[in-house]
């Protein structure tokens, strides 16, 4: 069927597919950041339950290294801030991709003469 379509329509279909793939990739990244953010928040909550002199071990590759609670807490807070920013960026990218997808979809509808779904 696509071989019968005009080049402009083929191009718009290709753009639509590309935007859809980008949106899916963004959604996967966003999900991964959300999971990591939740894990970081849980770790911070657990650290808050410990006494300041509690023995803490941090995973570094295959090793567990003894570390201080406050240093670990500060490191996790920085990680959380970075993840929050990354999540906001991905949300904006996802929104832009959705808008672009809708625009291309509408252009295609107009080009092939199909009315918009209500």
Which residues are 95's β-sheet partners? none
Q: Which domains does the chain have, with CATH numbers?
A: 17-109 (1.10.287.370)
pLDDT at 3: 57
Which residues are 46's β-sheet partners? none
5: left (phi over 0), alpha (psi -120 to 50) or beta: beta
pLDDT at 113: 78
Question: 20-69, pLDDT tens digit by residue?
Answer: 999 999 999 999 999 999 999 999 999 999 998 899 999 999 999 999 99
């Amino acid at each position: 069927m696509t071989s019968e379509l005009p080049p402009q329509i083929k191009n718009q279909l290709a753009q639509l597919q590309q935007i859809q793939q980008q949106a899916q990739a963004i959604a996967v990244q966003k999900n991964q950041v959300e999971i990591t953010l939740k894990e970081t928040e849980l770790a911070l909550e657990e650290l808050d339950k410990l006494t300041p002199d509690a023995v803490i071990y941090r995973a570094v590759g295959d090793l567990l290294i003894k570390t201080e609670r406050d240093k670990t807490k500060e490191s996790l807070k920085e990680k959380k801030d970075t993840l929050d920013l990354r999540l906001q960026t991905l949300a904006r990218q996802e929104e832009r991709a959705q808008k672009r997808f809708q625009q291309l979809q509408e252009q295609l509808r107009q080009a092939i003469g199909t009315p918009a779904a209500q």
